[in-house]
Amino acid sequence: MRPGPELRRIAALFRPYRGQLFSVLAIIALSAGLSMVSPFLLREVLDQAIPERDTGLLTLLVGGMIAIAIVTGGLGVASTYLSNIVGQEVMHDLRAAVYRHLQRMSLAFFTRTRTGEVQARIASDIGGIQSVVTSTATSIVSNVTTVLATIGAMFALDWRLAAFSLVVLPFFVWMTRRVGGERRKITAQRQGRVADMSSLVEESLSVTGILLGRTMGRGDELADRFTAESRELATLEVRSRMAGRWRMASVQMSFAIMPALVYWFAGQTSAISVGTLVAFTTLQTRLLFPIGSLLSVSVDLQSSLALFHRIFEYLDLPIDLGERPDPVQLHDVRGAVRFEDVTFGYDDDVAPTLDGIDLDVPPGSFTAIVGETGSGKTTLAYLTARLYDVRSGRVTIDGVDVRDASFASLARTVGLVSQDTYLFHATVRENLRFARPDATDEELEAAAGAAQIHDLIASLPEGYDTVVGERGYRFSGGEKQRIAIARVVLRNPPVLVLDEATSALDTETERAVQDALDHLAEGRTTIAIAHRLSTIRDADQIVVLDGGRLVERGTHEELLERGGRYAALAAQGEKAPA
């Protein structure tokens, strides 16, 4: 039977470590060969040295048995060490491959995938195969080698006893395959439940989850939901561990009975010496552990295949935001942004979010985007940073299609400040340096000063070494926003995208943040999604979107004079619909 595609992929994971694996296999083969010598020495002890009172021969034989035990023990330690090194390297390669692959996915993937699901694939699923890749592969080789060597030695001692002992082996193999299939199905269900629990914990035990649960009075319901998920997971664990347990117990019982049957069979003939019989049963006993281990490993492998399948599912996700093999490096960017007949939709089978957008943003200019909810404002801004790829048309910066630019140079070129500020659970200094790891303390303070937040940070007992807390909850919304602005200032991008950066702030805080944004926008090409129309009166051009189409464009005064969609928004009040 040829190995399936998944087994070939699993085998390919070990290919870079062929040299180490060959060393492990050589050690295993040597150890197995040496261990088979001891029963033959034992036969000579019982049939020759002891009956003939030959103390010299007895000492030599016993010394050989002791030496073999010491050497095989040392070889076992060496093979375990090498196999664990290989296994951990494979684990590292898998984790890094999944993480890097997910880093290349577009924002759309993460908007439709639960964070807990992603965490479960990387942590739980890959963690679940650890024993397989660190020890199981070499355990299989070791046990197979031991079984083959033992069977060979058994036939060398007495072929009749060997044939009698091994007649039931095919039945055991068939039984194990059935148990493995059952265990694999249960494992797939179990990992699905683990992902559900991870998502529930991620959502309900975060700061925002706790706040929502308590203010809505749903804490007990969430606890009951978690309890139900945990109970179902516990039930699946029991089913997984008990799958085929009676069958495996019958295998072990059969091996325990076989030595007694061998004694009975040997008693039917006088041609088998006592030394041969004892040596044979010794070999037979040694056969019990490796065969039992192989049967158990077969079951575990079936379970692990379900985990490998889930991991390969993520690795096989098509990259919808790939980098060109030879990308363009953006240098000395002026900041001329152009949208050329851009159409974009999140799903191919629904109406596009943006349809036929043509827009020029001159270098160093300030362009504001307004429109009703769902008109495509945020999408248009995000296409500039290539968080998504257009369905048709193109977005260019200084004439270079953003799809042709390298990710690194595009990230240096376009800076984004959104209303949903994210800060890591780390110090203020570490959060700022995420934008530029080589920034000096003086540059950090200058960026914070430009963002109107330095004085506040400096007044804290620990200053820039203050830990911001989960998602920055030690700071107010306006303070977090200004830290985020300082982070962008530190990166110093020539093109700036502001996604309703002040929409969730009170008037006083908004004024401080707006001052920081105005300072940040000086001398840069700025594309701003407007929250309050008063903040965009001085924009070089205002773009009005309606239903994904560009319906108006002009300055504040020009659009008011036309009496169109923008004038209607202005008539509703200072605050435009978000």
DSSP string over 113-164: S-HHHHHIIIIIIHHHTHHIIIIIHHHHHHHHHHHHHHHHHHHHH-HHHHHH
Residue 369 sits at φ, ψ, to 5 deg, of -120, 125
Which of 186, 190, 197, 188 has its CA nearest to residue 313? Answer: 188
* pLDDT over 70 at 371, yes or no: yes
Share of the chain above pLDDT 90, in %: 10
- Other C-beta atoms lying within 10 Å of the C-beta of residue 572: 10
Q: Is the pLDDT higher at 217 or at 520?
A: 520
- Distance spanning both ends of the chain, measured CA to CA: 62
| pLDDT confidence band for 316 (50 / 70 / 90) | confident
Instruction: State the pLDDT at residue 501.
Output: 67
Mean pLDDT of 116-144: 72
DSSP 324: P
Instruction: State the pLDDT at residue 523.
Output: 80
Instruction: State the pLDDT at residue 505.
Output: 60
| pLDDT confidence band for 35 (50 / 70 / 90) | confident
| pLDDT confidence band for 407 (50 / 70 / 90) | confident
Query: In which order are the strands placed within the sheet that holds 400-401?
Result: 354-361, 337-344, 392-397, 400-401
Q: Is 48 exposed, middle or buried (0-12, 13-18, 19+ CB in 10 A)?
A: middle
Instruction: State the pLDDT at residue 319.
Output: 78
Mean pLDDT of 533-537: 77
- Other C-beta atoms lying within 10 Å of the C-beta of residue 167: 9
| pLDDT confidence band for 578 (50 / 70 / 90) | very low
Instruction: State the pLDDT at residue 2.
Output: 47
- Count the alpha carbons within 13 Å of 151 in the hemisphere toward its beta carbon: 13
| pLDDT confidence band for 43 (50 / 70 / 90) | confident
Distance CA 336, CA 398 (A): 5
Handedness of CA 204, 208, 212, 214 (dihedral sign): positive
Q: Is 313 exposed, middle or buried (0-12, 13-18, 19+ CB in 10 A)?
A: exposed
Instruction: State the pLDDT at residue 385.
Output: 87
Mean pLDDT of 392-397: 93
* pLDDT over 70 at 358, yes or no: yes
Asked if residue 83 lies in contact with residue 137, where contact means CB atoms within 8 angstroms, the answer is: yes
Residue with tokens 């975060």: 206
Which of 481, 479, 511, 517 has its CA nearest to residue 497? Answer: 517
* pLDDT over 80 at 563, yes or no: yes
- Other C-beta atoms lying within 10 Å of the C-beta of residue 221: 11
* pLDDT over 80 at 434, yes or no: yes
Average pLDDT, the chain: 79
Residue with tokens 């592969």: 137
To 10 degrees, the CA torsion angle through 460, 464, 467, 473?
70
Task: Indicate the range of 274-288, 358-372, 499-513 predicted with least confidence.
Answer: 499-513
Q: Which residues of 275-298 are buried (b: 16+ CB within 10 A; e: fewer)?
A: bbbbbbbbbbebbbebbbbbbbbb
Distance CA 162, CA 368 (A): 86
Distance CA 311, CA 95 (A): 9
Instruction: State the pLDDT at residue 575.
Output: 44
Query: The tokens of 266 are what?
Result: 């040997």
* pLDDT over 90 at 351, yes or no: no
Instruction: State the pLDDT at residue 60.
Output: 92
Query: In which order are the strands placed within the sheet that holds 525-529?
Result: 414-418, 495-499, 525-529, 366-371, 541-546, 549-554
Task: Indicate the range of 111-125, 270-284, 393-407, 511-525 predicted with least confidence.
Answer: 111-125
Distance CA 421, CA 499 (A): 11
Distance CA 12, CA 4 (A): 12
Query: The tokens of 400 are what?
Result: 């270079």
* pLDDT over 60 at 539, yes or no: yes
| pLDDT confidence band for 576 (50 / 70 / 90) | very low
Distance CA 323, CA 404 (A): 7
* pLDDT over 60 at 207, yes or no: no
* pLDDT over 90 at 341, yes or no: yes
Q: What pLDDT digit, counting tens, does each position of 73-100 carry?
A: 898 888 888 888 888 888 888 888 888 8
497 DSSP β-pair partners: 416, 527
Residue 548 sits at φ, ψ, to 5 deg, of 85, 5
Q: What pLDDT digit, counting tens, does each position of 95-116 carry?
A: 888 888 887 777 777 777 766 6
Distance CA 198, CA 114 (A): 9
Mean pLDDT of 214-222: 65
* pLDDT over 60 at 214, yes or no: no
Which structural domains are found in the chain, ordered by start?
5-183+248-315 (1.20.1560.10), 363-571 (3.40.50.300)
Share of the chain above pLDDT 70, in %: 78
| pLDDT confidence band for 574 (50 / 70 / 90) | very low
Distance CA 31, CA 255 (A): 23
427 DSSP β-pair partners: 467
DSSP 3: P
Query: The tokens of 359 are what?
Result: 């827009």
Distance CA 321, CA 344 (A): 14
DSSP 532: B
Task: Indicate the range of 4-18, 61-75, 397-411, 506-520 predicted with least confidence.
Answer: 506-520
Helices (DSSP H) in 316-351: which residue ranges?
A: none
Mean pLDDT of 464-486: 81
Mean pLDDT of 215-237: 74
Distance CA 245, CA 241 (A): 8
- Other C-beta atoms lying within 10 Å of the C-beta of residue 312: 16
Amino acid at 352: P
Q: Is the pLDDT higher at 144 or at 389?
A: 389
495 DSSP β-pair partners: 414, 525
534-540, long-range: CB < 8 A, 24+ apart: 534/574, 535/502, 536/366, 536/368, 536/370, 538/366, 539/366, 539/367, 539/368, 540/362, 540/365, 540/366, 540/367
| pLDDT confidence band for 1 (50 / 70 / 90) | very low
544 DSSP β-pair partners: 370, 552
Asked if residue 486 lies in contact with residue 450, where contact means CB atoms within 8 angstroms, the answer is: yes
Residue 108's contacts (CB-CB under 8 Å, 6 or more residues apart) are 320, 346, 388
Question: SS3 of 423, please?
Answer: coil
Q: What pLDDT digit, counting tens, does each position of 500-533 carry?
A: 766 656 666 667 767 777 777 778 898 988 767 7
Instruction: State the pLDDT at residue 185.
Output: 66
